[in-house]
Amino acid sequence: MQKNLVIVESPAKAKTIGKFLGEDYKVLSSYGHIRDLKKKSISIDYEHDFQPTYEVPTDKRSVVNELKKEAKDSDMVWLASDEDREGEAISWHLYEVLGLTPENSKRIVFHEITKSAILNAIQHPRQIDINLVNAQQARRILDRIVGFELSPVLWRKVKPSLSAGRVQSVCVRLIVEREREVINFKPQTFYRVYATFTLSDLKGQQSEIKADLNHRFDTPDEAQAFLEECKNAKFYISSITKKPVKRYPAPPFTTSTLQQEAARKLGFSVSKTMLVAQQLYELGQITYMRTDSVNLSQFALDSSKDEIIKTMGEKYSHSRQYNTTSKGAQEAHEAIRPTNLNVHETTGDSDFRRLYDLIWKRTVASQMTEASVDRTIVNINIENDRENHFIAAGEVIVFDGFLRLYKESFDDDAVDQEDEVGLLPPMEKGQVLQYKKIQAAERYTQHPPRYSEASLVHKLEELGIGRPSTYAPTISTIQQRQYIEKESREGKENEFSIFHLTNGEITKELKKEMVGAEKLKLIPTDVGIVVNDFLTQYFPDIMDYNFTATVEKEFDEIAEGDKKWTSILQDFYSKFHPEVVSTTEIKFEHKVGERILGKDPVSGRQVSVKIGRFGPIAQIGKAEEDEKPKFSSLRKNQSIETITIEEVLELFKLPRTIGIFESLPVVVNIGRFGPYVHHGSLFISIPKGYDPMDIDMEQAQALILAKREVERKKYIKSFDDEPELQVLNGRYGPYISYKGNNYKIPATQKPEDLTLELCYELIKTQGEKPEKVRKTQKKRDKATEAAKAHTVRKSAKNGAAAKKAAAKKAAAKKL
């Protein structure tokens, strides 16, 4: 019988700690929470002080059973989950589920995983802090109430299977509001003036300086007038100011800052960063990757100091401890850093190496001396012009310090392309300059940038919404619900004018540039916009950007023992629930989010757009009229909010019957996967370059015949003895199809010469794959729908349940 059982949250942590503690200690992991509110029902008893009903989820049963067994075999159980609200609750649930007592259990905490920290923790045990636990229960139950009361309102008023929650709904709101700012933005033009001057020093050496005007002009006339004035003006240096400036390194990484920098410097998505970081953590190469703390352990401070002195010298070392400033931080862990700072690089694939390199550099740089820069500002006056002057800036790095290793990136780096400033030639006050050229270029003010995944995380953290463990999952949830999409937009070509002044002559040039290109930005869908507007109108408190911060304050009061958790919930629920009831009872004249655009000039029937079962649709006519309404999906790039009646009427020009071929109609339409020609049982995608609005019979016939040819060529060979095996011609050349799986044919083998035996051999050498059951069309439809509704994980686990639901749906559909 072992003496001690220590339970931590993460298995990697358990492994490390196990090494520090001797034979008398067994260290196991709870794998996070082991108990939660029951999954299906709301599981809160409103009649009895919000009494929750907890259950051990199925995927935690085996963990719990093992812990139970080990606990029974131990003299003492040490509950060593993290020291924050969630961690305290994990310990409490363990205490309850494992049937522990104050005599056979102790609660311990540590912030860094070192032998001394853990031994010290064991010397100073305490009991479970029930106030902190209650704060967690309040948080959990409030989130359940919000999610499970609000989502059904959306099912009734907007569309089934939608969701709402304290975090996700506000997240969508940020993106919707930013999109509106972008749409409503009216770019303004202005003229920016910049010049190149020449000056000669005492020895007659010529050099050049670039300088910007301190003023922008609103119109081309003003810009031109200014250049006119410069033609014969005298330019001289009116002042030279030198100022030493210091630059300080950024603090070590938290989850949020790591996600942002990995996106900017490595182009990683938020989830990719977390995936790679998780692997580095499991290999013991970095500390825990879900943290909001910038704190470094004494060990990390000491070893980075050693490392810096050893590789760069004493003057580069400057130890610092940073303070966490982000809202709602709980600081149960250290900052993200390499576990051993003397390991400068890691092995593995390039993603691995690059992320490790980033973390190593950021950590070490944070412990390095600040950089010293001499900054020079030169004012160049224009004689007889007291309002305008040119400014030239120069910078010399006197001591590079941390910049030797690492420089933080910022989101607008790409915008400030003229950011580089270099060395200025020697000059003195009063010196007269000659202009070489002066240019006034037309520029446009830019709309605020759409959010990227990383900049959204930054904003969420700033508002104190969400936690390090939820940033990545939240972004994928709102994508799965199809509230937002990640999209890239190509830039548009834009013409602008530049006036040049050279040799006393002004010329005008028209130039083209690409503007407005955006890479993988977050854009709301129609569903996202409609849901957001609905929630913002009827539940403004929940949708308030400060809602989380406000309730967090109350949770803190519970944790401090100043307030009762049930009365906080009572206050909230007594206000919130009636709002849910009254909103549910509203009989809307139109469907939520519906826009009436006017009347169809041909039939006189009403034209409207709204959210349909499969997304946004346009409709002519009303359901209650005798004649059935006509429907058409909106095109990609069209939105309920901005579409015009003309555009809607255009949609109904399809489907278009363009003629008869072989006594069957040829119909052109646009479906979910783009434009297609429909003839008999054949559907043919219309290739790019053709316009479905004016494709003619000749072109359509060609497409039909070409498709037939492909179909004909598709079958190279089949065998009477084995109807399930075929040799086919596909997009990538010939292949073998067998029981729903495909197998390659080596280039040396002529497909026509294949025998059944040869095919079997090829299948065997490539490893026969398990038979795939070919589903019917309808079933597959339902399966994808079900998969969309579930998260990837859930659908994997509940495969059988999903199938059952799908079958039911399919059955319902037939009736």
Is the Cβ–Cβ distance between 443 and 481 less than 8 Å? no
Between residue 715 and residue 754, which ones bind DNA under the rule CB under 7 A? Answer: none
* Element housing 373 (H / E): strand 371-382
Asked whether position 476 contacts DNA by CB under 7 A, the answer is no
Between residue 285 and residue 314, which ones bind DNA under the rule CB under 7 A? Answer: 288, 290
Quick one: which segment of 113-121, 360-368, 697-705, 786-794 binds DNA (CB under 7 A)?
786-794
Quick one: which segment of 232-240, 462-470, 485-493, 740-748 binds DNA (CB under 7 A)?
462-470
* Closer to DNA by Cβ: residue 202 or 773: 773
Q: What is the Cα–Cα distance from 747 to 756, expressed in whole angstroms? A: 18
Q: Of these, 271, 324, 469, 741, which contacts DNA (CB under 7 A)?
A: 469
DSSP assignment, residue 797? H
Between residue 399 and residue 458, which ones bind DNA under the rule CB under 7 A? Answer: none
Asked whether position 52 contacts DNA by CB under 7 A, the answer is no
Quick one: which segment of 160-168, 503-511, 657-665, 718-726 binds DNA (CB under 7 A)?
160-168
Of 191, 288, 435, 738, which is the active-site residue? Answer: 288
Between residue 587 and residue 646, which ones bind DNA under the rule CB under 7 A? Answer: 591, 612-615, 617, 619, 622-624, 629, 631-633
Cis omega (within 30 of 0) for bond into 655: yes
List the strands of the sheet with 682-685, edge to edge: 656-661, 664-671, 674-679, 682-685
Q: What is the Cα–Cα distance from 33 to 518, expressed in whole angstroms? A: 40
Between residue 69 and residue 108, which ones bind DNA under the rule CB under 7 A? Answer: 82, 84-87
Asked whether position 546 contacts DNA by CB under 7 A, the answer is no
* Closer to DNA by Cβ: residue 276 or 373: 276
Asked whether position 468 contacts DNA by CB under 7 A, the answer is yes
Q: What is the CA radius of gyration of the chain?
A: 34
Q: Of these, 161, 206, 603, 642, which contacts DNA (CB under 7 A)?
A: 161
Q: Of these, 20, 31, 299, 545, which contacts DNA (CB under 7 A)?
A: 31
β-strand pairing of 492-502 with 595-599: unpaired
For the chain, how many helices (H) and strands (E)? 23, 30
Q: What is the Cα–Cα distance from 310 to 306, expressed in whole angstroms? A: 6
* Closer to DNA by Cβ: residue 172 or 501: 172
Q: Of these, 160, 426, 561, 740, which contacts DNA (CB under 7 A)?
A: 160
734 token code pair: 């010939």
Pairs from 159-165 (Cβ < 8 Å, separation ≥ 24): 159/527, 159/611, 159/613, 161/481, 161/789, 162/481, 162/527, 162/531, 163/477, 163/481, 164/531, 164/535, 164/542
* Closer to DNA by Cβ: residue 121 or 371: 121
* Closer to DNA by Cβ: residue 319 or 633: 633
* Closer to DNA by Cβ: residue 224 or 482: 482
DSSP assignment, residue 253? B
CB of 735 to DNA, least distance (A): 12
Asked whether position 516 contacts DNA by CB under 7 A, the answer is no
Q: How far is CA 578 from the centre of its chain?
A: 34
184 token code pair: 């409503």
Residue found under tokens 């000059």:
427
290 token code pair: 């879900």
Q: Of these, 164, 176, 193, 371, which contacts DNA (CB under 7 A)?
A: 164
Quick one: which segment of 33-41, 263-271, 342-350, 737-745 binds DNA (CB under 7 A)?
33-41
Q: Which of 398, 371, 76 is closest to 250 using CA atoms?
A: 371
Q: Of these, 54, 148, 248, 661, which contacts DNA (CB under 7 A)?
A: 148
Asked whether position 782 contacts DNA by CB under 7 A, the answer is no
Quick one: which segment of 193-201, 308-316, 472-480, 560-568 binds DNA (CB under 7 A)?
472-480
* Closer to DNA by Cβ: residue 653 or 775: 775
Q: How many residues bind DNA (CB under 7 A)?
A: 98
Residue 604: strand, helix, or coil: coil
Between residue 681 and residue 720, which ones bind DNA under the rule CB under 7 A? Answer: 683, 685
Asked whether position 511 contacts DNA by CB under 7 A, the answer is no
CB atoms within 10 A of CB 185: 12
List the strands of the sheet with 595-599, edge to edge: 595-599, 606-612, 615-620, 630-633
Between residue 340 and residue 369, which ones bind DNA under the rule CB under 7 A? Answer: none
Q: Of these, 55, 69, 130, 155, which contacts DNA (CB under 7 A)?
A: 155
> Would you call 483 a catalytic residue per the annotation?
no
Stretch 259-278: interaction string toward DNA, x if CB under 7 A = -------------------x
Q: What is the Cα–Cα distance from 458 to 466, expressed in whole angstroms? A: 11
CB atoms within 10 A of CB 585: 7
Q: Of these, 671, 680, 733, 740, which contacts DNA (CB under 7 A)?
A: 671
CB of 813 to DNA, least distance (A): 8
CB atoms within 10 A of CB 238: 14
The residues that are catalytic are 288
